Amino acid sequence: MLAAVRTFAILGVEAREVLVEADVRNGLPSFALVGLPDAAVRESRERVRAALANSGFEFPQMRITANLAPADLRKAGPGFDLAIAAAVLAATKQLPEGALADVALAGELALDGSIRAVPGTLAMAEAASRAGARAIVVPAACGPEAALVAGCGIVPVERLEQLQRLGGEDEPPRPPALSPPPNGDGPVPDLADLRGQPALRRGLEVAAAGGHSLLVSGPPGAGKSMAARRLPSILPPLGPDEAIAAARVASACGRSVGPAVARRRPFRAPHHTVSTAGLIGGGNPPRPGEVTLAHQGVLFLDELPEFGRDTLEALRQPLEDGTVLLVRARYAIELPCRFQLIAAANPCPCGTGPRSGQCSCDPASVRAYEAKLTGALADRIDISMAVEQPDLSSFTEAGESSAAIRDRVLAARERQRARSRGDRANAQLTPAEIEIGAEIERMLADAGLAAGLSGRGRGRVIRLARTVADLDQAEAIEVAHVDEALTLRRRESR
Ligand SMILES: Nc1ncnc2c1ncn2[C@@H]1O[C@H](COP(=O)(O)OP(=O)(O)OP(=O)(O)O)[C@@H](O)[C@H]1O
Ligand SMILES: [Mg+2]
Ligand SMILES: [Zn+2]
User: Residue 132 C-alpha to ligand 1 middle, in angstroms?
Assistant: 54
- Residue that finishes a domain, picked among 165, 198, 233: 165
Ligand nearest to the CA of 218: 1
User: Residue 362 C-alpha to ligand 1 middle, in angstroms?
Assistant: 26
Adjacency order of strands within the sheet including 30-34: 30-34, 63-69, 14-25, 2-11, 103-105, 135-139, 153-157
User: Which residues form the domain of 36?
Assistant: 2-165
Q: Which of 201, 225, 400 is the best mutation target for the ligand 1 pocket, counting ligand atoms within 8 Å of the beta carbon and taking the most? A: 225
User: Are residues 155 and 246 part of one domain?
Assistant: no
User: Residue 238 C-alpha to ligand 1 middle, in angstroms?
Assistant: 28
User: Are residues 214 and 254 part of one domain?
Assistant: yes
Which atom belonging to ligand 1 lies closest to the Cα atom of 195? Answer: 3
**Is 62 inside a domain boundary?**
yes
Which atom belonging to ligand 1 lies closest to the Cα atom of 390? Answer: 1
**Per-residue model confidence (pLDDT) at position 225:** 94
User: Are residues 259 and 388 part of one domain?
Assistant: yes
CA gap 73, 68 in Å, rounded: 9
3-state helix, strand, coil in the chain (%, to 5): 40, 20, 40
User: Are residues 222 and 151 part of one domain?
Assistant: no
- Residue that finishes a domain, picked among 364, 397, 430: 397
**Is 407 inside a domain boundary?**
no
Pocket of ligand 1 (CB under 6 A): 193-197, 218, 220-226, 344, 346, 390
Which atom belonging to ligand 1 lies closest to the Cα atom of 346? Answer: 25
Which atom belonging to ligand 1 lies closest to the Cα atom of 387? Answer: 21
Burial of 26 from C-beta contacts in 10 A (0-12 / 13-18 / 19+): exposed
- 3-state secondary structure at position 65: strand
Instruction: Characterize 347-379 residue by residue with b for buried, 16 or more Cβ atoms within 10 angstroms of its Cβ, and e for exposed.
Output: bbbbbbbbeeeebebeeeebeebbebbbebbee
User: Are residues 16 and 49 part of one domain?
Assistant: yes
- Residue that finishes a domain, picked among 351, 382, 397: 397
User: Are residues 188 and 86 part of one domain?
Assistant: no
**Per-residue model confidence (pLDDT) at position 493:** 33
Three-point CA angle 386, 392, 397, nearest 5° = 105
Name which residue sits closest to atom 16 of ligand 1, judged by CA.
223
pLDDT in tens, the chain (494 residues): 899 999 999 999 999 999 999 999 999 999 999 998 888 888 999 999 999 999 999 999 999 999 999 988 888 888 999 999 999 999 999 998 888 989 999 999 999 999 999 999 999 999 999 999 999 999 999 999 999 987 889 999 999 999 999 988 888 888 887 877 776 667 889 999 998 889 999 999 999 999 999 999 888 889 999 999 999 999 999 999 999 999 999 999 999 999 999 999 999 999 999 999 999 999 877 899 999 999 999 999 999 988 888 898 899 889 888 999 988 877 788 999 999 999 999 888 888 877 777 888 888 888 888 777 666 677 788 998 888 888 877 777 778 999 999 999 999 999 999 888 777 899 988 888 888 888 888 888 887 777 777 777 888 899 999 999 999 999 999 999 999 998 888 754 32
How do strand 323-327 and strand 332-336 relate by DSSP bridges?
antiparallel
User: Are residues 268 and 135 part of one domain?
Assistant: no
**Is 300 inside a domain boundary?**
yes
Nearest to 342 by CA among 490, 231, 178: 231
Name which residue sits closest to atom 7 of ligand 1, judged by CA.
223
User: Are residues 308 and 248 part of one domain?
Assistant: yes
Which atom belonging to ligand 1 lies closest to the Cα atom of 200? Answer: 1
**Per-residue model confidence (pLDDT) at position 114:** 97
**Is 480 inside a domain boundary?**
no
User: Residue 362 C-alpha to ligand 3 middle, in angstroms?
Assistant: 8
Ligand nearest to the CA of 222: 1
**Is 491 inside a domain boundary?**
no
Name which residue sits closest to atom 25 of ligand 1, judged by CA.
220
Give how many domains the chain has, as a whole number: 2
**Is 482 inside a domain boundary?**
no
**Per-residue model confidence (pLDDT) at position 61:** 94
